[in-house]
Amino acid sequence: MFVDKVKIYVKGGDGGNGIVAYRREKYVPDGGPAGGDGGKGADVVFIVDEGLRTLMDFRYQRHFKAERGENGRPKNQHGKSREAMEVKIPPGTTVTDEDTGKVIADLTEHGQRAVIAHGGRGGRGNSRFATPANPAPEIAENGQPGQERNLILELKVLADVGLVGFPSVGKSTLLSVVSAARPKIADYHFTTLTPNLGVVETDDQRSFVMADLPGLIEGAHSGVGLGHQFLRHIERTRVIVHVIDMSGLEGRDPYDDYVTINEELEQYNLRLMERPQIIVANKMDIPAAEENLELFREMLGDDAPDIFPISAVTKKGVSGLLLKIADKLETAPEFPLYSEEDIEQRVVYKFEKQEDPFHISRDDDGAFVIEGHGIETIFKMTDFGRDDSVKRFARRMRHMGIDDALRERGAKDGDTVRILNYEFEFVE
């Protein structure tokens, strides 16, 4: 089964917890704090494997959770940091954050790596908090939570040339003739249900990859028919080969077919029309085809792109077509799918307004709800089993301005304050 779009969940490993410990050795008086830090959680890393051709594996495993870091130990021993969790994906995969719509990575080359979800740092042990004023602190941090993401993976096949056209115009037959690919061929519409790839070699020993895409129909860009599912696969191609049934046996007008398909390509993505396009007049072995080709040339006028009459069945004209495609590829530029600023993995320095560390709302039961990435991270990293850690958390809330913000919202002594699923009392 060919799978080219999936939704998955990934989570970087949580950091290990720091611990509260003291040096306890014979003949060593006044042993100080000796709690080690926790280890870093594992990152989730996507790595391109050219042996894969589909996202089928992600149909069966949709959750990827990396290993958490090891907890700290006594005697200032740090916990072990975990090795990255590697997930193999096929070349041509675009990774998008479902919640923000931001493209995280566009992975095309074998061995290319991208960190998709970062592991959390380890929590600090109590030896990190020792000061002259407090030489024996009872404070240790929990590990930082790993990054969580809901992702959309889209496979956009790596092909130099894309065959487009209405169903049953002979795209699959052409691919089977010029390459070793063996797509299903039958005399009914939508025989091709998945993209097929083939390596083509010309008479002068040049080669390129050609993709046969499912047939398009009017409205494909908006979800009509099968073609809309696979239009994404033409985005990486540098040359478009537009195959037209010039015989008219289906009862369609070749010129109308040409205009309709180009409108679908333009509606889907305007940059598709920037690519060089070669028109292939197929089925020229049928008597009516010559007359239809003359009418087609007249309606296109002088500004028409290259037109190559061929018969995929008899192979007449196919060799010349392949040489022309190879010539076009030598001068056709690359068409990057995304600008550098669109991809999160790129480092782009620009001013962005800092996100508020918290915001306050009211629940139906009257409780004050504090939300925000900053305060929630601090909350998760606090060990509420120790008084010193609780006091430190209260100081940090006060320093962030949460106490004053609650008073402005009308909080009074004894009111309920909620962070995540935990409740506290507001105390003046």
pLDDT digits (tens, 9 = 90+) for 185-201: 655 455 555 677 788 88
Contacts of 292 (CB under 8 A, 6+ apart): 246, 247, 248, 254
Distances (CA, A) of 40 to 130, 144, 310, 379, 383: 22, 9, 62, 18, 18
- Percent of the chain at pLDDT > 90 equals 29
pLDDT in tens, 124-162: 999 999 999 988 899 999 999 999 999 999 888 778 888
- Pairing between β-strand 161-164 and β-strand 148-155 as defined by DSSP bridges: unpaired
- The pLDDT of residue 4 is above 50: yes
Q: 1-155 belongs to which homologous superfamily?
A: GTP1/OBG domain (2.70.210.12)
Sign of CA dihedral 263, 264, 267, 271: negative
Instruction: Name the strands in the sheet holding 44-48, side by side, starting at the edge strand that comes first in the sequence.
Output: 85-89, 44-48, 113-117
Provide φ and ψ at 65, rounded to 5°. Answer: -120, 120
Please tell us whether the domain made up of 359-425 is placed in CATH 3.30.300.350.
Answer: yes
Interhelix angle 171-178/318-331, nearest 10 degrees: 90
- Look at residue 220 in the predicted model and tell me its pLDDT: 47
Share in percent of the chain as helix, strand, coil (round to 5):
25, 25, 50
- Say which residue the tokens 């009914």 belong to: 188
Instruction: Specify binding-site residues.
Output: 165-172, 190-194, 212-215, 282-285, 311-313
**Tokens found for residue 404:** 């004053």
Instruction: Specify binding-site residues for GTP.
Output: 165-172, 190-194, 212-215, 282-285, 311-313
* Mean per-residue pLDDT over the chain, rounded: 84
Q: How sure is the predictor about 337, in pLDDT bands with cuts at 50, 70 and 90?
A: low
pLDDT in tens, 44-92: 999 999 888 888 888 889 999 999 999 999 999 999 999 999 999 998 8
- Look at residue 221 in the predicted model and tell me its pLDDT: 46
SS3 398: helix
- Look at residue 184 in the predicted model and tell me its pLDDT: 60
Sign of CA dihedral 335, 341, 343, 347: positive
Interhelix angle 288-300/254-268, nearest 10 degrees: 50
Identical fold for domains 161-335 and 359-425, yes or no, is: no
Helices (H) and strands (E) in the chain, counts: 7, 18
Contacts of 187 (CB under 8 A, 6+ apart): 168
Where are the domains positioned within the chain?
1-155, 161-335, 359-425
Instruction: Specify binding-site residues for Mg(2+).
Output: 172, 192
CATH number of 161-335: 3.40.50.300
- Any idea which of 143-157, 285-299, 391-405 has the lowest mean pLDDT? 285-299
- Look at residue 192 in the predicted model and tell me its pLDDT: 54
